[in-house]
Structure 1
Amino acid sequence: MHPYNNTALKLSTRVPSHGDMPSVYSEAKLVAQTYQSVKQQLFKAFQRAGLGTWVKKPPEQDQFLLTV
């Protein structure tokens, strides 16, 4: 196998195909692991500091289509 083909094969397993991409913003946020982790850390820090809980926006605001 040519070295280029080997590299391309490795990359294709790491990069999601267009069909794997979320079509709605709320779905993209749910699958973004780093975003979810940091968001939870922020919420916990607010509670520890006595700042209360984060006010959530209506879920409808994140129900728009993503275009790629």
Structure 2
Amino acid sequence: MNKQDRQDIEDWHRQLKKIKYELWSEIRVRVTGHIDREVITDLLAACLNRYNKILFKYEKAVDDKR
């Protein structure tokens, strides 16, 4: 693995940590008010979609290196 690969992986990890932080921040904000199952489901779906996009970029980059 070269330096660029390591930097890409670190960047993806940072993006995933940011998604996790945003999710928990949003849940904390909503817990102080009224929260229902539909809201949490929507939040999780949005975060999962973002995670999958990042994962797809990573897998594509790995495949391109082969």
Fold conserved between structures, TM > 0.5: no
TM-score relative to the length of structure 1: 0.38
More helix by share: 2
TM-score relative to the length of structure 2: 0.39
Q: Larger Cα Rg: Structure 1 or Structure 2? A: 1
